[in-house]
Structure 1
């Protein structure tokens, strides 16, 4: 019994009732103009159902109507966050965007016609059952049975009062069924179109890509700065030379300042602030990166072929980060060793190569499963290139090939 009565205690049952009654107003207005609502016959009631349909179809051609109907459906057909008891979030599957295609307009037209038919039917049922309840009250009190309701009434008697809850429950269950049907139809007819779903999917993909990019930026920049700081501090302590210590502190300061700039840039993006953001470093700033590695004690030999300044911004920026991560891995896992860097721009492609002699036992430490190496491959793949990392003979190699166009 509680389960049977549960729909009658939900607020959404009555907001759906109001939603349906609102739809019937348009039909009654049209019916009052023609054929009139003074004792209409069955054929005239059929006209009341049919005549508003062309007007509704024309109305559905207005793009904003779909948005208005979607907002109404979200608010009145689903127990959303505004309700006393929250629903399952199904209202979010109803679009509130204007019609963007003829298919959207056609679905909106079907929705309006369905809402008209169900709304008018529920309004007529309400208009007939409520007088029936009043007549049953009168019959239970011994008053003469009226003729307002077209439904047959029993003779007078107190037991007529027992039929009142039956009539009310019948009406409420009709309303509940019609409201449930409208809610299901809203998901089908007012739900996002294929274009809207594709746009939402693309937006979600862009957000995920942006989050991954920010994570890579933080990993590469902060990881490089911390690695340089740790290596420099360890080398200064081991050297015991005041001059070397001063140079190490200068390198730590410069690297830390660059990392703070990168961190501030990322935080501005996360806050979605509108203040200007300093440009991200590119391969034209690679000398600063190489000097930082040299200051840590590594010997860096550089070969540059081709005009780096002509590289497109995305290629040059991602190339800088890949080079930064390659040098960071060398300092972290191999120490202050000799590093050979080659940057070649030729035949419409950028080739970036970082090689170092592989100390004994270092292969497992740089086995290519870390987030930094994975980030290199992701950066290269997003630009249509490829990255190869791992031991080659007695060397550890990072080789990245990116298309320039």
Structure 2
């Protein structure tokens, strides 16, 4: 019993009821023009049902109508915070009609809304009239209830029966409203084109977040790794001059990391201001100097004009080199590192070689986040990245098309 009375306490029952009753305005307005509502015959009621259909189909051809109907459905069939734009989507689109399929679905929705509203209006009128007749008969005796029979001394029966039509009406309105909400999702829901556009937007957001995560991982990971290695080397050396150089290198590395972090945070805030240029491969010297300042011996060989590389390739290659040097320092420490950068035949090749740490990593295991990020960056540019053991060394090879 409490479950049956639940619709009485829900605001959505009455907003849906009102939404459907509003749809009956057009059929009744047409009926007042023709054939009239004075003692209508069954044929007249058939005209009342049929005449508004061409008007509904004509209105559906206007792109704005789908937008307006979507807003009404959101606010009245799905009331509450979730119906507002920008919150949880109830499955009803508020976009303008962009195709004939959208117009056809809007037309079907308008016809359904008019006919369902007309039917519910007639049911509402009938049941409310019955409830008033029962209440009038209970209050003032026969003659107030029209055709209803009246038994002397049985007024209390009419008092008990008077709320029944109202309860039945609320149940009918609740059920009809739930069906209309389902129909709204089907007929006013996003089209295939809108769903694809939404999916593309979400994909772009995920890619952007992934890119920002890689930027933060590369920048902060590189800076922290260098700081840890340099601090450890300075403590082990016990040389004041070496300690001063290590602190200076840590300061420079931290300052560069803060600049990169500010650039990424500026993009996240979406202030409309330019986020500044990301470092490119022709600035690789500062990466090599940072690695040398940590105690590593870096042998670098550069062939070809790095300054003429395409922007995306140059920036991503810089991050790959940064992550490669970070991995070497993190896993092998300040060892001898060989770096070779070659630009030739419309290809960019990057190699980073270092002695294997003890214990040596297992080739082909896929690496951690760093190597996975390098492979992802290379794949997005149409290239590839490989990491393997080679003659007692760990070799990272990146091949990118220009």
- TM-score (normalised: structure 1): 0.91
Task: Check conservation: 2:363, 2:388, Cα contact below 8 A.
Answer: no
- Over aligned residue pairs, what C-alpha RMSD do you find? 2.2
Pair 1:153-2:152 in alignment:
no
Higher deviation after alignment, 323-332 or 41-50: 41-50
Task: Check conservation: 1:353, 1:397, Cα contact below 8 A.
Answer: yes
Q: For 1:185 and 1:393, how far apart are their aligned partners in 2? A: 68
Higher deviation after alignment, 162-171 or 240-249: 240-249
Partner of 1:10: 10
Pair 1:45-2:45 in alignment:
yes
Can you list the C-alpha shifts for 1:259-300, whole angstroms capped at 9, x where unaligned? 001111111122222223221111111111111111222122
Partner of 1:86: none
Q: What is the CA-CA distance between 1:13 and the residue it aligns to?
A: 0.8
Partner of 1:60: 60
Partner of 1:144: 143
Q: For 2:376 and 2:161, how far apart are their aligned partners in 1? A: 72
- Superposition pairs for residues 274-313 of structure 1, below 5 Å? 274-313=272-311
Higher deviation after alignment, 16-25 or 336-345: 336-345
Q: What is the CA-CA distance between 1:349 and the residue it aligns to?
A: 2.6
Q: What is the CA-CA distance between 1:104 and the residue it aligns to?
A: 1.2
Task: Check conservation: 1:78, 1:91, Cα contact below 8 A.
Answer: no
- Superposition pairs for residues 322-341 of structure 1, below 5 Å? 322-341=320-339
Partner of 1:321: 319
Q: For 1:343 and 1:289, how far apart are their aligned partners in 2? A: 13
Partner of 2:116: 118
Structure 1 residue corresponding to 2:167, chosen from 141, 166, 169? 169
Q: For 2:67 and 2:12, how far apart are their aligned partners in 1? A: 21
Q: For 2:73 and 2:285, how far apart are their aligned partners in 1? A: 60
Q: For 2:126 and 2:40, how far apart are their aligned partners in 1? A: 14
- Superposition pairs for residues 171-250 of structure 1, below 5 Å? 171-250=169-248
Partner of 2:269: 271
Unmatched 5+ stretches in structure 2: none
Can you list the C-alpha shifts for 1:185-218, whole angstroms capped at 9, x where unaligned? 0111111111111111111111111111111111
Q: For 2:141 and 2:36, how far apart are their aligned partners in 1? A: 36
Q: What is the CA-CA distance between 1:60 and the residue it aligns to?
A: 1.3
Task: Check conservation: 1:145, 1:155, Cα contact below 8 A.
Answer: no
Q: What is the CA-CA distance between 1:61 and the residue it aligns to?
A: 1.7
Number of residue-to-residue matches in the alignment: 395
Pair 1:19-2:14 in alignment:
no
Compared CA separation, residues 235 and 131, structure 1 to 2 (3 A)? same
Q: What is the CA-CA distance between 1:65 and the residue it aligns to?
A: 1.5
Q: For 2:45 and 2:309, how far apart are their aligned partners in 1? A: 74
Task: Check conservation: 1:301, 1:341, Cα contact below 8 A.
Answer: yes
Q: What is the CA-CA distance between 1:125 and the residue it aligns to?
A: 1.3
Q: What is the CA-CA distance between 1:343 and the residue it aligns to?
A: 1.6
Partner of 2:33: 33
Unmatched 5+ stretches in structure 1: 84-88
Q: For 1:325 and 1:35, how far apart are their aligned partners in 2? A: 81
Q: What is the CA-CA distance between 1:145 and the residue it aligns to?
A: 4.8
Structure 1 residue corresponding to 2:132, chosen from 109, 131, 134? 134
Q: For 1:295 and 1:366, how far apart are their aligned partners in 2? A: 31
Q: What is the CA-CA distance between 1:327 and the residue it aligns to?
A: 0.5
Higher deviation after alignment, 138-147 or 182-191: 138-147
- TM-score (normalised: structure 2): 0.92
